Structure 1
């Protein structure tokens, strides 16, 4: 667990997805000293996921993301490495050149 926690910055959250038999061991100081959080989710099935998407559409809830062109993918990766990405990057596949 520690290698994953080390990837998360201050005030970051590590989310365990799905059923696991046991939580891997880690030193609690790794959470406390950098104000990190550990959370978990079982993830709903198709019906629950569709209900969530319908709810979001009905209430105008949108993801926080930044659309980048395929040509800017290296710049986006560099920004991610520098923690300069405010939201998630989503690659605009319409900008992919056809060959």
Structure 2
């Protein structure tokens, strides 16, 4: 049986390296599979970080605009919270969604 195996695979160094690679790939605490999974998670988190940084930047600009300009503050209040002056009437036009 031992003689049927090619001499390259009977070499003790090849056996040790193969066992080491199998250990690193499947059994080690920091195995290759978990490293790939962690790299994927890290990439997703970086994308989320960029998204939230852009959202913070956009919100900071709109907040600065609202704090500095009374016209934009009034427009925001009227559109977002349906605010009105005492002598005004507000009519909301609600459009029905088209059925597909």
Structure exhibiting the larger radius of gyration computed from Cα positions:
2
TM-score by length of 1: 0.21
Structure with the larger strand share: 1
Kindly indicate which of the two structures has a greater share of residues assigned to helix.
Answer: 2
Instruction: Report which structure shows greater RCO (CA 8 Å, sep ≥6).
Output: 1
When normalised by structure 2's length, the TM-score is 0.20
